[in-house]
Amino acid sequence: MNEQTLLNELLKIQSVTPNDNGCLELISGLLQDSGFEIGRFDKNGVSNLWAIIGKEGPIFCLAGHTDVVPADKEHWNTDPFVPTEIEGKLFARGAADMKGGLACLVTAAINFIKNNPSLKGRLAFLLTSDEEGAADFGTKYVMQELQKKQIQLDWCLIGEPSSSERLFDFARIGRRGSLSGILSIHGQEGHVAYPQATENVMLTYAKFMYAMDKLDLGRGNTFFPKTSFQPVYVHSDANAVNVIPSSLIARFNLRYSDEWSFETLSSQIEKILNSLSCQYKIEWKNAGNPFITEEGHFSNVVKDCVHEVIGDELTYSTAGGTSDGRYIAPYGTEVIELGPINKSIHKNNEFIQLDHLALMTKTYERILEKMLT
Ligand SMILES: [Zn+2]
C-alpha cells in the first residue's frame, strides 16, 4: 500500500475527535506485518497505539493523531469524508491535519524497515485519537504509562502540518508557554463623594495594568518571540453612578518564551500585585511550559534531509498553537514537528497537495536512515 492509498483509506473513516473509528486498527495491521510489536493504551473512549521495533538502544518515535475536527457538509464543495481529487489536490477532512502526515510517516517506516531490517536503535509509533479534543487521555496518558514502564523516547518526529507557503519551509522545534491569570481585587464599597474612606478597585487595577505594561518581559531569542501580555477581560460595577464598587475581576494571558518558567513569571506578577498593597486573589492556569529542542544532531539531520529531498532551506520556529509535542518534550525527548502546508487546516474544503505526499515520505525515510542506521 503506498501513502496515497493509505491516506484515502484513512480519510474515508469518520474519525471525529475522539472517535478513532478503526484508523488505528488499519495502521496497526500494517505495522504488525512489518514486524512491529503492538500495544494499545485505550482509555476513556480514546484510542491509543504504541508500536515498537528493534531490540535495544535509543528510541526514535513517530507521533501523531487519527482524530479530526468536525466538518459541516453544508459548507464543503465535496463530501468531507469522501476523499476527492481535483486538479492535483486531495480534498477531505483531515487531509492536512493530519492523516496526510500520518500516512507518509507509516509508509516511510515500512519502507525503512524493509530496506534496513537490522536497525541501530529502536523505531516506535505513538498515535492517539484525542489530539483535537480534551487531550487528557491521549498522548499525555500514554507518556505517563511509558514512564511507568521506564520507556524513554530519545527523539520524536511529529507529522503535524508545520509548513506555511511551500512544503517544509518551516518545522516546529518548540512551543511558547501559555499562562492565564484570573485576578480578583477586593476593595470597599463607598460613596464617590467620599473616596478617601474607600479603596477604588478600578484605580488599583489601572495601576496594575500600568505596571504590567512597563514590566520588562525580555526580548525573546532566536527561536522565541518576545513574551506578550494580553489582558482579555475586566469587570467591575456597583450598578449606580455614585457608588464605588467593592470588587473587580479580570483575566489575562501571557504567551511566554523560554526566558521564563511558570514559577518565575507568576511570581514576578504576584510581586507587582503585592506592591500595590491591595487585597487580591489570583488563580493561575498554565496550559503548557515553553519547550525547545536544542539545535544539534537531530535538528541538523532533519534540515539536511529537507534540503536533500526538497532542495530548499528549512526554518525552525516556535510559532502556532498547541500540539501533542507539549506532552512529550517534558520527558527530555527532542521533539520536531515537520509536516504539510497548514493553510486549509480546520477549515472547510481542507486539502493536501497530492505531489507532496511522495516528497514527504521520502524525507521522513531519509531522516530514519540517518538517525537509525
Ligand atoms: Zn493536528
Q: Residue ranges of the domains in the chain?
A: 3-175+290-372, 182-288
What pLDDT score does 287 carry?
84
Contact in structure between 90 and 84 (CB atoms under 8 Å): yes
Question: How many angstroms does the Cα of residue 257 sit away from the middle of ligand 1?
Answer: 22
Equal fold, 3-175+290-372 vs 182-288 = no
**CATH number listed for the domain at residues 182-288:** 3.30.70.360
Sign of CA dihedral 199, 202, 208, 213: negative
- Residue 226 CA, ligand 1 centroid: distance in Å: 25
Q: Which of 131, 199, 324, 337 is catalytic?
A: 131
Query: For residue 348, how far is its CA from the centre of ligand 1 (angstroms)?
Result: 15
322 pLDDT exceeds 80? no
85 is catalytic: no
Q: What is the mean pLDDT of residues 170-193?
A: 93
131 annotated active-site:
yes
pLDDT above 90 (res 304): yes
Rounded CA Rg of the chain: 24
Q: Which of 125, 151, 164, 155 lies closest to 293 in space, CA to CA?
A: 155
Residue 134, pLDDT above cutoff 90? no
Spacing, Cα 233 to ligand 1 middle (Å):
29
Of 20, 67, 130, 365, catalytic = 67
346: helix, strand or coil: coil
Tens-place pLDDT, residues 62-114: 999 999 999 999 999 999 999 999 999 999 999 999 999 999 999 999 999 99
Mean pLDDT, all residues of the chain: 95
Domain 3-175+290-372, second-level architecture: 3-Layer(aba) Sandwich (3.40)
Ligand 1 centre to CA of 289 (Å) is: 19
Nearest Cα residue to 276 out of 203, 216, 213, 189: 203
Length of the chain measured in residues: 373
